[in-house]
Amino acid sequence: MDRSQERKQAIAAAVEDIRRIEASEGINRDTLDKIRARLVTLASRTDLFSVEDYPPPDGKGDRKSCLYRISEDADHRFALYANSSLGGYGTPAHNHTTWAVITGVTGAELNRFYDRTENGGVSEKGSFVVKAGTGVAFMPDDVHSIHIDAPLLNFHMYGVGLEQLHSREFYKPDENRWQVFPAHSDIREARDV
């Protein structure tokens, strides 16, 4: 079997396991931990997942990071992306409106976690660096931000594909308000890579 076929089989097996976890147990913190563990196992296959397979942007424009769709069901559920970044990239505090799991393949991604405050803002309550062998998991209303200083490749999986998430919010600290997070404009189709 060639490497591309082996990668497709590994992705399909992981996604099937994750579907089973959600179907049998629903979504809660414990099941998200199981989903995270299964994605960590997939991410450990660095023989199948590399920046050569999922290159970051070329660095000529403003874009420092891009997403490759490597799996998504026909109903837009169980969407798995490879995030490839040059570094120098981050997001504001935001929610997902669906469950989400991030696991490391190579490099490091700082995740900061927040609570919403009574005055409409956010208060940082902790952080975690996602790298090979680790990951983080979020319930739909959990709030986090990501900060990437150097090149990386990691997995982001969502209960529903990003283009379907029309009410995600991000926090604008300079205006002390929440705003709808626009859909990603640079998701590259890679289900056949």
pLDDT at 1 over 80: no
pLDDT at 51 over 80: yes
Lowest mean pLDDT across 26-30, 62-66, 140-144, 175-179: 62-66
In this prediction, residues 158-169 reach a mean pLDDT of 93
pLDDT at 151: 97
Residue 182 confidence class, pLDDT cut points 50, 70, 90: confident
Q: Fold for domain 3-189?
A: Jelly Rolls (2.60.120)
Distances from the Cα of 164 to the Cα of 7, 75, 88, 117, 161, angstroms? 26, 10, 27, 27, 6
pLDDT at 58: 86
In this prediction, residues 31-56 reach a mean pLDDT of 97
Residue 154 confidence class, pLDDT cut points 50, 70, 90: very high
Residue pLDDT, tens place only, 101-146: 999 999 999 999 999 999 999 999 999 999 999 999 999 999 999 9
In what order do the strands lie in the sheet containing 152-160? 135-138, 100-106, 152-160, 77-85, 65-71, 187-189
